[in-house]
Amino acid sequence: MSKRKIVIIGAGYGGMLTTVQLQKIIPEGTAEIVLINRNQYHYLTTLLHETAAGTREDEKVCIDIRSLIDPRKVTFIEDNVIDIEKEKQQVILQNGEPISYDYLVIGLGFEPATFGIPGLKEHSLSIRSVKTAREIRLKIEEAFARYAVQPNREHPLTFVVGGGGFTGVEFVAELAERCYDLCEFHKIPYEQVRVICVEAGPGVLPGFPPALVEYAMKSLSSQGVEFRIGTAIKEVTPGRVKLAKGDQMDEVIADVIIWTGGVQGCELIGRCDFDNLRGRIKVEKDLRAPGFNNIFAVGDSALIMDEANGRPYPPTAQFAVQEAFVCAKNILASIQGQPLVPFVPDNKGSVASIGQHDAIGVVFGKQIQGVPAVFMNRMIDNRYLFFLGGLPLVMKKGRIPF
């Protein structure tokens, strides 16, 4: 049998782990594996709210891709994928030559969804990558530095976070902690800083048990975070956010506006005409794109319906990791002419950090908060690092769970 060429695009949770699994399970001489990613590092997206606020350094969430791959089995190309030519079975890169494939794995992740809200794209920032998180951190620091030299201006130093889902609440908690440090550094009284979390729905952390939501809100309110619940961002202009609560309109002057109001799949997927919903391919049970025997999608690039409620499973790292194992297994099965296995999501729950030393969660159906939740959160991160690079990577990038 001639050597097959497997190309993986995007080295996020889904793409990176599929690559690592493939290099473990593909028998020698069976296939050539090529991983293409726009950066030379893999990053832990689930910790970007911390780098965005400045409570964690960039290096702690980045892992050199070359340190995770075996160069005898995997070729890494640092480039931006700009097109997928399905008929020619090749991907088009921004800088390099087209790369042909026998099998393609799409793991391009998510982009912020702005729902056509006027001015949002232009005048707010989103937590999307290490680079955008760094941009947010710098804007926060610049805003403090500017305020420190003109403290008598009419409005307080104001940060508006739009969207009170998991990302919004986790970010706001880090931001509140960081503001304390920056206030101390710049000798600004904390009362002169406003951190506002705007949530359109009837409460933050939709779908989470009310007792845990109350716990998080109480903790954050005591740190000065203001919640504007049932209030939607309607428009953003430079330094201003228009809000609506029912018929009531309001405008807030803001130094930095951070949008955490939702995500969608990658624009490239829609452009390449896959059967998709907002950039997420409606994959078959075995993770293949409809109509293609040799194209798989994982992570936020894949859309899988939860038959119990008729809604898509949420785009999470938890599912991206589970999909990676099945995707690698199915590619090997396909090469060997064996039957493919279905992906069966196993929702183990979720944990949200509330700053550096607190968290809430529902794990295996049990509600947890405080120290046990912090412990669990860190164990989840460490477990992922173990899958990727074994104990050495856990020791290097992991966190002590207590």
The residues annotated with a catalytic role in the active site are 170
108 binds, among ligand NAD, ligand FAD, none (CB under 5 to 8 A by kind): ligand FAD
Pattern of binders to ligand NAD over 131-170, x per CB under 6 A? -------------------------------xxxxxxx-x
Q: Binding segment for ligand FAD among 155-163, 175-183, 310-318, 336-344 (CB under 6 A)?
A: 310-318
118, 206, 290, 291: which one contacts ligand NAD (CB under 6 A)?
Answer: 206
Tokens of 281: 């391919």
Q: How many residues does the chain have?
A: 402
Cβ partners under 8 Å of residue 2, min gap 6: none
Distance CA 159, CA 176 (A): 10
- Least spacing, CB of residue 206 vs ligand FAD, in Å: 15
The count of chain residues that interact with ligand FAD, using the rule CB under 6 A, is 34
Residue 114 is a binding residue for ligand NAD (CB under 6 A): no
Read off the DSSP letter of residue 299. Answer: G
- Least spacing, CB of residue 179 vs ligand NAD, in Å: 20
Task: Tell me the residue nearest to ligand FAD as measured from the CB.
Answer: 12
37, 158, 219, 260: which one contacts ligand NAD (CB under 6 A)?
Answer: 260
What are the Cα distances from residue 208, in Å, to 166, 203, 228, 231, 360? 10, 10, 18, 19, 10
| 174 within 8 A of 49, measured Cβ to Cβ | yes
233 binds, among ligand NAD, ligand FAD, none (CB under 5 to 8 A by kind): ligand NAD
316, 347, 356, 367: which one contacts ligand FAD (CB under 6 A)?
Answer: 316
Residue 350 is a binding residue for ligand NAD (CB under 6 A): yes
Residue 45 is a binding residue for ligand FAD (CB under 6 A): yes
Neighbours of 133 (CB within 10 A): 27
Q: Which of 59, 66, 96, 101 lies closest to 84 in space, CA to CA?
A: 101
The count of chain residues that interact with ligand NAD, using the rule CB under 6 A, is 26
Cβ partners under 8 Å of residue 154, min gap 6: none
7, 74, 99, 108: which one contacts ligand FAD (CB under 6 A)?
Answer: 108
Cβ partners under 8 Å of residue 99, min gap 6: 7, 34, 36, 77, 90, 91, 93
Binding to ligand FAD in span 119-158, by CB under 6 A: 127, 129
Residue 352 is a binding residue for ligand NAD (CB under 6 A): yes
**At CA 317, angle to CA 311 and CA 318, rounded to 5?**
75
| 347: three-class secondary structure by DSSP | coil
| 32 within 8 A of 6, measured Cβ to Cβ | yes
Q: Going by DSSP bridges, is the β-strand pair 103-106/295-297 parallel, antiparallel, or unpaired?
A: parallel
Residue 269 is a binding residue for ligand FAD (CB under 6 A): no
76, 101, 103, 110: which one contacts ligand FAD (CB under 6 A)?
Answer: 110
- Interface ranges with ligand FAD (CB under 6 A): 9-15, 36-39, 45-46, 48-49, 80-81, 107-110, 127, 129, 167, 266, 268, 299-301, 315-318, 320
Summarize as ranges the residues that interact with ligand NAD (CB under 6 A): 117, 162-168, 170, 198-201, 206, 232-233, 260-263, 314-316, 350-352
